[in-house]
């Protein structure tokens, strides 16, 4: 006997909630990995200036960080925020929080993308190193703000369903 619509709905809701919980956990894990990579990179960037050929390790570390940052940014956008942007989220509390914080998240996304684009071909020249120090400082502020804004949306998404 095939399940009725009423019987199938709870399973669908459980699956949707399970997927949402897994997505939130994955996003938080990826954000933590990005933070660790950022801290390692920022620590490297404070050393005395080195010759270009000595910056190969830093170049690789920067590329690795940028890849994590892009993966994290894309996951947040395509796995979490796109659902809200597309109007698929029905919970009023989530929509209210998103309306309040999403403009700030969009601003941080723009900064993260610009940072990645700027350093995609990093060679470790003196000028690049000078700019990197300044940009890493600003980047640290931006990812901290993004985490705070993102946590507000994630908390709203993780909250129990609103009573009807």
Q: What is the pLDDT of residues 57-88, one digit of tens each?
A: 678 889 999 999 999 999 998 988 888 888 88
Largest CA distance in the chain: 74
Predicted local confidence at residue 141, as pLDDT: 96
Query: How far apart (Å, rounded) are the C-alpha atoms in residues 41 and 106?
Result: 24
CATH class of 15-158: mainly alpha
* Domain ranges, ordered by start, for the chain: 15-158
Instruction: Note the pTM of the prediction, 2 decimals.
Output: 0.79
């Amino acid at each position: 006997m095939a399940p009725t619509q009423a019987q199938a709905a709870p399973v669908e809701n459980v699956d949707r909630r399970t997927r949402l919980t897994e997505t939130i956990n994955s996003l938080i894990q990826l954000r933590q990995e990005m933070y660790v990579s950022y801290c390692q990179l920022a620590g490297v960037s404070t050393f005395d200036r080195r010759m270009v050929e000595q910056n190969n390790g830093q170049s690789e570390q920067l590329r690795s960080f940028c890849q994590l940052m892009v993966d994290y940014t894309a996951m947040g956008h395509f796995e979490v925020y796109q659902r809200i942007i597309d109007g698929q989220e029905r919970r009023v509390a989530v929509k209210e929080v998103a309306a309040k914080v999403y403009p700030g998240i969009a601003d941080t996304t723009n900064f993260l993308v610009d940072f990645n684009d700027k350093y995609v071909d990093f060679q470790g020249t003196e000028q690049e190193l000078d700019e990197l120090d300044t940009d890493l400082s600003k980047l640290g502020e931006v990812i901290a703000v993004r985490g705070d804004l993102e946590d507000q949306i994630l908390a709203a998404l993780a909250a129990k369903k609103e009573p009807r």
